[in-house]
Amino acid sequence: MVREIDHLIYDLVERLRPVRALRIRGGMIQMMLAALASFALSALWLDIREDLLAGAFPPMFLIANGLFLILSLAAGSSVVMMSGPQVGNRHDGWKWATAMAGLLPFSAMIMATIHRRDDPPILAPEHDFYCVAYGTGFGLLMATALTNRLRRGAPVSPERASLLVGIAAGAIGVCAYGISCPLDNIFHIGIWHSVPILISGLIGRFIIPALIRW
Amino acid sequence: MIADEASLSRLMANAQGGDRLAYRTLLKECAHWLRRYFGRRVLANQLDDLVQDTLLSLHRKLASYDPDRPFLPWLAAIARYRWIDHLRHVYRREEQALADDVPDHGEGDEDEIVARISLERLFAHLSPAQARAIEMVKIEGRSIAEAAQSCGQSEPLIKVNIHRGLKKLASMVEKAQ
């Protein structure tokens, strides 16, 4: 049996080719570039809100998109860390970021239960669908970048890593679309800007593991 | 003799650059290290298969090692992943005794690192019932019925404990230290 191992080692040595090491720094840069590309795509494809172009930033816009951006970067960073396994790796930051971003749909539901006549409408069908579709679509760049990273790496929790790819993609997608979405009320942002994250997370959780298992 | 962390990291970095001599030395050291790492957590007749599987994974995932980080925790994560995968696939009864001839981990400066990344640390996160069920059925190779009789648990409970225990182990690969 020892000879078998010697043969295996001989064989593996013969097959050795130089490889480019997956460094954490490189993964973070790739993730940031994917995020920037998502914003660029959104800006080129759709019209940026006029108030943003004029330098006016509504508080709800800043808070909501700030939370989504943090969520995406936290989940994406965890994916980068998970691509290079280490006993002792810690990548729990995404849980706190998810809890913080979860305040938006939670608040929307509470506000919906005490909805008053002069509040903004809970549903805005002419916008809701586009937010879900574009938010999910603009996340594809991030999803592709992170999935490629995991395929080259060695994730030891493929299901968890896949879920995080979906969350990171959905969050950056909806954040990128946010610069075009004209609605700032809590009902629309809390519900319809959270749905792409949910959808992307589910797609990631159930589709990506088959692509990255090793 | 097993090389120290710094030497292994250096060998790995050179291997990633295509240095075959460094890679051969590294693989031999890793094979030796893995035999001791899996030690008493694998049946003796399965030990070499598991070591070979892990070396193959190391080769396929050579790029996933970041030279800026320590080597042994990386190797241990891959070894744990392969070991849990191995446990999932072990169903048949094995008569053979555990690998009694495999020495425990060595002495010296590496002891603390090795202890923190050991399989025992991973096992410590299971409930006693889960650990016992996995030990008896998956590691010692006993049947579900034998394990149930020995533990005083029902057969379905043994299966549930194995299932939940393996799931827990899989979720703890990087965390347990």
Would the pLDDT of A23 be above 70?
yes
Q: Which of A10, A15, A85 sits opposite B74 (nearest CB)?
A: A85
Structure tokens at A146: 């992170």
Compute the count of residue pairs across chains A and B with CB atoms less than 8 Å apart. 123
Q: Where are the domains of chain A?
A: 23-212
Taking CA atoms, what residue in A is nearest to B69? Answer: A86
Q: Which residues of chain B are at the A interface, by a Cβ-Cβ cutoff of 8 Å? A: 13, 15-18, 20, 23-24, 27-28, 31, 48, 51-52, 55-57, 59-70, 73-74, 76-78, 80-81, 116-117, 170-171, 173-177
Taking CA atoms, what residue in B is nearest to A150? Answer: B64
Query: Looking at the predicted complex, does its ipTM rise above 0.85?
Result: no
In whole angstroms, give the CA distance from residue A62 to residue A57: 7
A197-206 burial code (b ≥16 CB/10 A, e <16): bebbbebbbe
Nearest-CA distance A154 → chain B (Å):
6
Domain tally, chain B: 1
Q: Which of A4, A18, A88 sits opposite B174 (nearest CB)?
A: A88
Who has greater pLDDT, A92 or A17?
A17
Please judge whether A157 and B69 are an interchain contact, meaning their C-beta atoms are less than 8 angstroms apart: no
Helical packing angle, A140-152 and A24-45, nearest 10°:
160
Residue from A86, A91, A149, A152 to probe the interface with B (highest B Cβ count within 10 Å): A86
pLDDT at residue A161, as a whole number: 96
Please judge whether B52 and A21 are an interchain contact, meaning their C-beta atoms are less than 8 angstroms apart: no
User: Considering only CB atoms, which chain A residues are within 8 Å of B175?
Assistant: 89-90
pLDDT at residue B95, as a whole number: 45
Question: Which residues are CB-contacts of A122 (< 8 A; sequence separation ≥ 6)?
Answer: A112, A115, A187, A191
In sequence order, the β-bridge partners of residue B43 are: B98
A63-73 burial code (b ≥16 CB/10 A, e <16): ebbebbbbbbb
* Terminal-residue alpha carbon distance, chain A: 25
Nearest-CA distance B142 → chain A (Å):
24
User: For residue range B108-157, what is the model confidence (pLDDT) as tens digits?
Assistant: 555 666 666 778 788 888 998 998 898 888 888 888 888 888 888 888 99
Does residue B90 belong to any structural domain of this protein? yes
Does residue B177 belong to any structural domain of this protein? no
Mean pLDDT across the stretch A43-50?
88
Would the pLDDT of B106 be above 50?
no
User: Considering only CB atoms, which chain A residues are within 8 Å of B13?
Assistant: 21
User: Looking at chain B, how many residues does it have?
Assistant: 177
Q: Which residues of chain A are at the B interface, by a Cβ-Cβ cutoff of 8 Å? A: 1-2, 4-5, 8-10, 12-13, 15-24, 82-90, 152-154, 156-157, 160, 214
pLDDT at residue B92, as a whole number: 46
Please judge whether B51 and A18 are an interchain contact, meaning their C-beta atoms are less than 8 angstroms apart: no
Would the pLDDT of A31 be above 60?
yes
pLDDT band at B1; cut points 50, 70, 90 = low
Structure tokens at B5: 């962390």
- Longest CA–CA separation in chain A, Å: 81
Got the DSSP string for B7-53? Answer: HHHHHHHHHHTT-HHHHHHHHHHHHHHHHHHHGGGSBHHHHHHHHHH
pLDDT at residue A207, as a whole number: 96
User: For residue range A129-170, what is the model confidence (pLDDT) as tens digits?
Assistant: 889 999 999 999 999 999 999 999 999 999 999 999 999 999
pLDDT at residue B107, as a whole number: 46
pLDDT at residue B22, as a whole number: 96
> What mean pLDDT value characterizes chain A?
92
User: Considering only CB atoms, which chain A residues are within 8 Å of B23?
Assistant: 12-13, 16
> What 3-state class would DSSP assign to B65?
coil
Taking CA atoms, what residue in B is nearest to A22? Answer: B64
Quote the percentage of chain B above a pLDDT of 70.
82
Domain limits for position B54: 5-171
